[in-house]
Amino acid sequence: MKFAVIVFPGSNCDVDMFHAVKDELGEEVEYVWHDQESLEGFDGVLLPGGFSYGDYLRSGAIARFSNIMPEVIRLAKEGKPVLGVCNGFQILLEAGLLPGAMRRNDSLKFICKPINLKVANNETIFTAGYEQDEVISIPVAHGEGNYYCDEATLQQLKDNNQIAFRYATENPNGSLEDIAGITNERGNVLGMMPHPERAVDSLLGSADGLKMFQSIVKQWREKHVVTS
């Protein structure tokens, strides 16, 4: 499986994403600069955390108009896995690939620490490696991770089982109903504020994030690789 790690001006978790895929999974991965116009040949897309375009205007609002984004949208519509973490999540929201919006943390402070998450839906390509309601430890690092949507959208998220992760023991940012990550209706686009790429080895404090990347590869291969 071949992944693209999209790099925007201000991305700072792109190397972590690359490491998770290449060194921990042993899968093929390439950096793709934001002004490129093709993702031909890639099987999955990773939008890393950071501060794309310095978070000017609004987090993710400028990156949404980068040359590469029509290709990200195309792959998402084709059903290929698209994972946006932290600033990547914000970009997915701005691009309309996921519903809702991000607000400043209710503390108005940047938060960086390990957080317990509950797997709210283990029936997606990203979460199939976890048990339903499993509690995992994944670090957060953000200043605008307070997820919000209107009542109709929230009900739609619930009805379609689109809430992938909730904060389990502490809501660090005031996010609506403890939401930490959501998918699109099809389940192939995931946005989450916590950083699974920073939890792929016990030396980092947790390896709980590795299951997500393993799950993507396993589910993709089961669907696309034909054995004789």
Catalytic-labelled residue, pool 71, 94, 144, 197: 197
Rounded CA separation 124/157 (Å): 14
Structure tokens at 35: 């002004």
CA dihedral 169, 196, 46, 90 (to 10 degrees): 30
Rounded CA separation 21/45 (Å): 11
| DSSP category for residue 78 | T
CATH code reported for the domain at 2-224: 3.40.50.880
H/E element holding 140? strand 135-142
pLDDT at 57: 83
Instruction: Give bridge partners of residue 225 from the DSSP assignment.
Output: none
CA dihedral 13, 5, 71, 161 (to 10 degrees): -70
pLDDT in tens, the chain (228 residues): 999 999 999 999 999 999 999 999 999 999 999 999 999 999 999 999 999 999 888 899 999 999 999 999 999 999 999 999 999 999 999 999 999 999 999 999 999 999 999 999 999 999 999 999 999 999 999 999 999 999 999 999 999 999 999 999 999 999 999 999 999 999 999 999 999 999 999 988 999 999 999 999 999 998 876 543
| Radius of gyration of the chain measured on its C-alpha atoms | 16
Q: Is 112 among the residues known to form the active site?
A: no
Catalytic-labelled residue, pool 34, 86, 94, 149: 86
Contact 26, 66 (CB under 8 A): no
Domain boundaries along the sequence of the chain: 2-224
> CB neighbours (10 Å) of residue 34?
18
Q: Is 78 among the residues known to form the active site?
A: no
Contact 78, 97 (CB under 8 A): no
pLDDT at 225: 67
pLDDT at 228: 38
Query: Three-state DSSP class for 177?
Result: helix
Structure tokens at 155: 């009900």
Q: Is 24 among the residues known to form the active site?
A: no
| DSSP category for residue 13 | S
Catalytic-labelled residue, pool 13, 144, 149, 195: 195
Residue for token digits 């959208």? 153
pLDDT at 128: 96
CA proximity to 163, closest of 74, 99, 116: 99
